[in-house]
Amino acid sequence: MTLATLDGMTSHKTAQTMKPATAAKKLGVYLEATPAEFREGVVTRDELNALQADPPEWLRELRRTGPHPRPVVAAKLGVSIGGLTRGGITEPLTTEQIDALKAESPDWLVRERATQAEVRKETVRVKENKG
């Protein structure tokens, strides 16, 4: 009887779960733009892997058009998150808004991109000197 109980216990492994905000961050999407059922539940590691491997239409659309969270906006613009803040960008942006900013190329964006390029160059230089 004890063996059967132990066998039963080992087969009931608890799935690792995460909050929707964590899952959204890992998926690179803005939490507030996700469907209610995503925001209101929990996401297991297996569900996250499934979303990454075969994204549903809502996830593909969010990644394509936004609104995008600040880390994604910063990456698409080629600046740091701090650079976004210095440029007055504090809210998520859509792909259309990001493209418009790139086309306008305001002074702050030019400055922040140059700063990012210098940071990347310095990182490479430091890495090469360590090697």
Residue 90 carries which side chain, given as an amino acid letter?
T
Whole-number Å distance between alpha carbons of 38 and 90: 24
Q: Are 46 and 76 in contact (CB under 8 A)?
A: no
Q: What is the mean pLDDT of the chain?
A: 89
- Structural domain spans, the chain: 15-63, 65-130
Q: What is the pLDDT of residue 127?
A: 87
Task: Collapse the DSSP code of 24 into the 3-class scheme (helix H, G, I; strand E, B; otherwise coil) and give the result.
Answer: helix
Angle at 116 between CA 113 and CA 122, to 5 degrees: 145
Amino acid at 119: V
pLDDT above 70: percentage of residues in the chain: 89
Q: What local confidence, expressed as pLDDT, does residue 3 receive?
A: 47
* pLDDT tens-digit map of 29-47: 999 999 999 999 899 999 9
